Amino acid sequence: MNITEISVSYEETCSLPGYNNVRPGLRMTAIVEEGETADMVKNRLMKQVRYFVRDEVDQALMDNGKAPKYYEGQRYKIVHSNQRKIILIVPQNHHDFPDDFYNSSSADYDLREITLDQAERYARLGCEQRGDGYRWEVILDGNYSILPPLPVADGLADEGDYPDDMDLDEDKKNPPF
């Protein structure tokens, strides 16, 4: 048997928030060239269609505030300090941030194991939401020397004067934090 053309298809269904799904798929066909085997062409095509579909799944998850499923690069998390009025983006595996920093959380956004682009977008939104001089920084190397100092005791307001973590259950349209 002489195979001259190979067709492959691949699709995947992924659950999204709000009982929604995304189901990207792709079908590709290639001609088996001289010097190639049908298996070589099939494997190359399958790799390409899987890459495309998985990229679409990851993008749909990120567009809906969730961590990507297939992304293999460095992942990040968001931590914040109300006393210093700063939001930090740190690598997922870093746990050595100062004691006044807390993992940020949200019912609608995945703030751990996210890409750097996602983390920067969420940090920017969090600063805008909190206002009052909040800023954000990315710390990749564990060097926290750029952080502003903690307020001194006589200038420190009562603990109740600091804003609490915002809960998105009140308004689903607000950004994380």
* pLDDT tens for the 177 residues of the chain, in order: 789 999 999 999 999 999 999 999 999 999 999 999 999 999 999 999 999 999 999 999 999 988 999 999 999 999 999 999 999 999 998 889 899 998 887 766 777 789 999 999 999 998 998 888 899 999 999 899 989 888 876 544 444 444 444 443 443 344 555
CA distances from 83 to 95, 103, 125 (A): 19, 14, 19
* Residues 16/64, Cβ–Cβ less than 8 Å: yes
Number of separate domains in the chain: 2
Residue 96 sits in the same domain as residue 155 = yes
Q: How many residues does the chain have?
A: 177
Residue 145 belongs to a domain? yes
Q: How far is it between the farthest Cα atoms of the chain?
A: 87
Residue 99 sits in the same domain as residue 147 = yes
Residue 104 sits in the same domain as residue 28 = no
DSSP 149: P
Structure tokens belonging to residue 86:
């700063």
Reported pTM: 0.70
CB atoms within 10 A of CB 60: 19
Residue 35 belongs to a domain? yes
Structure tokens belonging to residue 33:
């060239």
Quote the domain boundaries for residue 36: 5-63
